[in-house]
Chains A and B, each alone.
Chain A
Amino acid sequence: MLEIKNLHARIAEDETEILRGINLTVNAGEVHAIMGPNGSGKSTLSYILAGKDDYEVTEGEILFNGENMLDMEPDERAAAGMFLAFQYPIEIPGVATMEFLKTAMNAQRKARGEDTLSIPDFMKRVKEAAAHLNVSMDMLKRPLNVGFSGGEKKRAEILQMSLLEPKLCVLDETDSGLDIDALRIVSEGVNKLRGPDRAMVVITHYQRLLDHIVPDVVHVLSKGQIVKTGDKDLALELEKNGYADIINAAA
């Protein structure tokens, strides 16, 4: 589903290199976790996947279902099935959440040559997804993310993900800011989307998310490179011993 080959990227503005040769293959049906110290480049990688133009790829390539992802606009990637749950979802005053959801869902459908959703169908989907994720319809009446608490924003991201039914879900620290119950609810929401046709990349600092969303593969990212890859036990080891040993061993 996703093949990242020798990806080098820098900040467009000041040319600081952030990613320094990432190789990562995620197959359909798999869940990969990416862990790593603050500032190691995890969010940068997620932004590059989503198509943010603050970053410049200087080397390497990204294939998304065989297609060159770097040639696609952010909205084309989304329509092709890429979804990023942002580490810091932003507030968009003046854009009503429901209007936004409808516009996004229909834009993707249109790009894929599908029919637009009828209003009742759309409402039904939103209500169902909202109920599963414990998102109140009141929240959805507000402008997008405006005044949402940290945890509410994260839940809203997963709500969007459930509605858009992407093929590749990249979750950037979706667990941070969630209370214990919300963590469970959100994880259930994510797990519901797990399936043979879908792949997930879960960026997190903590094992507790991976207790709920059990990964097939765990990677450690340090200074823009993947320095270790293992199974779910790697996360447990990190939780116990921290990054120092692994990073030192790689250096």
Chain B
Amino acid sequence: MNANAPIRNTQAESELIERYEAAKGSLAGSVAVSALRDAAIGQIRDKGLPHRRVEEYKYSDLRAFMNSAAPLAEKANLDAAKAAVAAADTFGDLDRFRIVIANGAFAGDLSDTEALAAEGVTVSSITAALDTEDATLLLASPKTGPNDGVVAMNTAFVQGGIILSVKAGVDVSKPVEIVHVATSAGGQVVRNTVKVGEGANIRLLETFVGESGTGEINAVFDYTVEDKANLAATRLITGKADAARLFTTIATLGAEAEFKSLGFVAGPKFVRNQQFVNFTGEHSEAKIYGVSMAGGSDLADQTLIVDHAVPHCNSREFFKTVLDGEARGVYQGRINVAPHAQKTDGEMMTQALLLSETAEMANKPELEIFADDVICAHGATSGQMDEDLLFYLRARGIPEAEAKTLLVLAFLSEAIEEYGEEDVTEGLEQRVREWLADH
């Protein structure tokens, strides 16, 4: 087979191309942005959706999974969006600001824009910005994943999203939840750009509620954490969903910056949560956590590349996966250390707990180290529940199901506790319990 010859498009790919033709006129963008979009759909046309022969998608064949592509979601009904946000229980009664993105577009009227402005946080729609000439920056690809197919899908179809900027030195008083709400069926494609100014501090909560039917959700979060700034991002990828859930984080860290994230996955049929983290200044730290649960024939993929391009930075990656039924878990993590990135400290761990004989975990931690004075380690484990622990709990009168729940919670809590942010993660225990009760 000639690698350069265009492939035969699948039904989903053909539908994506049709979708693009249909939506093109109404998708925002300057001439340069439209050219980027054209190139992106061209990539899907020529190379197809990411599939198993693409190294990064070896275990998560999106092409095989997606057998059709719904049209993009129509503009949301704001009353419906408001009701859906009110009904969704994402973080209980945690005191927080809210930003609403409905059917892929920023809903300013439903967002706490003014309260945020008073704190020194500006929020605006990305849509208008895409019409300007230098808008291509807003759609930049990850440096370590320039041809990523999921990002290409996002670039081609991005409907809207926000540009959020935290003024230098501002310590945002409450977490900010970016709620993505689907009020009707259809693809929802979002790009959110977040800039945390020098010395500023913000905690983001990223949630997805409502039902997109057979439409995929594709959201890219592009974070810039400037010098001495601090960002913690908690992403909840929950609820039953038959269509693909595709998430990309691009994080660029300045000097003495701190970035922390937790991706919590429980429910959808196909989840790809990928993160590209780049150190561009010294003495910074990134801590990336993942907690995934998958049952049935679902797939939960957590993939990341942490790029140590400069010296004296620390990164920690800690991922936990619980699998049941015939589910598949994927962890692909790579730490790159550039030749001059001395004194890098990287520690990566991925652990899976298999609740059934038929579940499968693909663990692929990798180190690519070109500097000599570094401390880097990685580990991967995968195993069944410890019968002795289970017996101990049962011998104390705890019924089997509850004993298992305690042990699953114990397994996952290691990562959740290390992530910290207790006020935010408090409700996760209940989500784990609900998931277990369902499986």
Contacts and interface: CB of A to CB of B under 8 A. Distances in A.
Interface of A: 50-53, 73-75, 77-79, 84, 86, 89-90, 92-95, 99-100, 103-105, 107-108, 111, 143, 160, 164
B343 interface: no
Given A93-B410, A95-B410, A160 B396 contact: yes
B117 to A, nearest CB: 42
Give the most central of B388, B392, B409, B410: most A CB within 10 Å: B392
Given A53-B391, A105-B397, A108-B397, 17 more contacts: A52-B391, A73-B394, A74-B391, A75-B395, A77-B395, A78-B395, A79-B397, A90-B389, A92-B392, A93-B410, A94-B410, A94-B413, A103-B402, A103-B406, A111-B397, A160-B396, A164-B397
30 contacts: A50-B395, A51-B391, A51-B395, A53-B391, A74-B395, A75-B394, A75-B396, A75-B397, A78-B394, A78-B397, A84-B395, A86-B392, A90-B388, A90-B389, A92-B407, A94-B409, A94-B413, A94-B414, A95-B409, A95-B410, A103-B406, A104-B393, A104-B396, A104-B398, A105-B397, A107-B396, A108-B396, A160-B396, A164-B396, A164-B397
Given A94-B409, A94-B414, A100-B406, A107 B397 contact: yes
Contacts, number: 77
In the complex, the 3 A-B pairs of residues with the closest C-beta atoms, listed nearest first:
A94-B410, A78-B397, A108-B397
Nearest to A79: B397
B435 interface: no
A73 B400 contact: yes
Contact of B393 (A52, A92, A93): A92
B384 to A, nearest CB: 15
Contacts of A90: 388-389, 392
A107 B391 contact: no
Interface in B368-406: 388-389, 391-400, 402-403, 406
A105 B397 CA distance: 8
B394 A74 contact: yes
B411 interface: yes
Interface residues of B, number: 21
A86 B395 CA distance: 10
A51 to B, nearest CB: 7
Say whether chain A's binding surface is mostly helix, strand, loop, or mixed.
helix
A78 B389 contact: no
A75 B392 contact: no
Q: Which of B393, B403, B413 has the most CB of A within 10 A?
A: B393
B277 to A, nearest CB: 27
Given A73-B400, A103-B406, A108-B397, A92 B389 contact: yes
A95 B407 contact: yes
A96 B409 CA distance: 11
B126 to A, nearest CB: 41
Contacts of A95: 393, 406-407, 409-410
A107 B399 CA distance: 7
A100 B389 CA distance: 12
Contacts of B410: 92-95, 143
B407 A75 contact: no
Contacts of A77: 395
Nearest to B391: A52
Contacts of B411: 94
B399 A75 contact: yes
A143 to B, nearest CB: 8
Contacts of A107: 396-399, 402
Nearest to A108: B397
